[in-house]
Amino acid sequence: MLGLNKKDTSLLIIVAILTLLAPFILNPFPAGSAMAQFNAGYPDLMQRFVIFGIFAIGFNILFGLTGYLSFGHAAFLGVGSYSAVWMFKLLSYNVIPAIALSVVVAGLFSLLIGYVSLRRSGIYFSILTLAFAQMSFALAYSVLSNPKFNLTNGETGLQVYADDPQILQGANSPDLPHLFGLPMRSTYTLEVGAWSFDFNAGYYLCAVIMMAVFYLAIRIFRSPFGMMLRAVKSNQQRMNYTGLNSKPYTLAAFVISGMYAGLAGGLMAAMDPLAGAERMQWTASGEVVLMTILGGTGTLIGPVLGAGFIKYFENIFSKINDNVLHGWFSFLPDGMEDAMVFIVHPFIGKGWHLTLGILFMLVVIFLPGGLVEGGQRLLNWVRGRRSGADDKTAGKTEPAE
């Protein structure tokens, strides 16, 4: 189907089902229960899952296939956001032109940075991309916020004002990002008993786009172009000795990866029409590296899992406070309750980074292939148990000859 083999088609269908049914899957607990704290099915968080999933998928095309580790991909995320907001300011709140411009501008910007950075490899390439990203952050934060040509609005962030041209904004068009009149914040809430499920227009736009770019990533991975990128990762020097010039392939991968990041930045602005320099900081670049490694470098679904894992911890575990902990351990005697709260407190709230760091170390140590490897091991274990049970049954019913 769609030019994919059976395995890749199954993977695409699984991703589509998980994405479309996310409002149900991410809200497993009743709204009023104590465990509702762990529900993640509200629109803002679901949008972050898929947007950062797109960001990580694109980064994986570069890092997972070629082995080139970029520490500056947040620059393209920020450029995409700024481009989308400028489109809102100049034309209208329709998200389609804004997203298209964010991809184009990020592609051109990544072409420039990639052409310079790819003259080096290894750690030198990583440092160059980091330097370009920090330069971009400095430009957005201070230089380009000069009142003479205010392109970024500095630390306040770029946003849409009432006196902006918006030459295509109709009188009846919504005063917020929309898709041909359908507001991105439009949400339908389904109440089923004690459960509550939100179906948000912005989320489903992001979800459909993620499925499209995931399909594109599959085609890249399985194409001759993808095989050339794997050859670069395997042994670039030997590849050059055969007479093949690897530079055009690595530059193409860098640009494609940058366009994915720009798309993610454009979608972030489409969900919230504000662009700030903080999206270009080195910490944002490091975050996508963690997402890719945690999920499984070089795998197709791994970066999406890693992005969801990190964003879940960032948004769910960071909200847990001492009051919630006291509610959890209220069945214990007072002394033990306070002791348990004291022990758990450093790992939640503002300390969620500590929990994530521990989990990241465990994954790197015991699952070098990331969460995907963990899933494969679990699946193999289940299959082994089933085959063992079948062998025992066969041994009972069929006597040995």
Q: What is the mean pLDDT of each run of 10 residues along the chain (401 residues)?
A: 85 92 91 82 92 95 94 94 94 94 96 94 92 92 79 87 85 85 91 90 95 95 93 87 88 96 95 90 89 91 92 85 84 88 87 85 86 87 76 52 35
- Long-range contacts from 161-166, C-beta under 8 angstroms, 24+ separation: 161/89, 164/88, 164/89, 164/90, 165/89, 165/90, 166/88, 166/89, 166/90, 166/91, 166/92, 166/93
Domain ranges within the chain, ordered by starting residue: 6-289
Tokens, residue 125? 């390439």
Residue with tokens 């803002």: 44
CA 161 to chain centre: 29
Q: What is the reported pLDDT for 389? A: 64
CATH fold of 6-289, please? ABC transporter involved in vitamin B12 uptake, BtuC (1.10.3470)
167 φ, ψ (degrees, to nearest 5): -65, -20
One DSSP character per residue, 31-68 reads TTSGGGGG---SHHHHHHHHHHHHHHHHHHHHHHHH--
CA-to-CA distance for 213 and 120, rounded, in angstroms? 29
Please say whether the beta carbons of 273 and 129 come within 8 A.
no
Q: What is the reported pLDDT for 22? A: 92
Q: Are strands 187-192 and 195-200 parallel, antiparallel or unpaired?
A: antiparallel
Q: What is the reported pLDDT for 19? A: 92
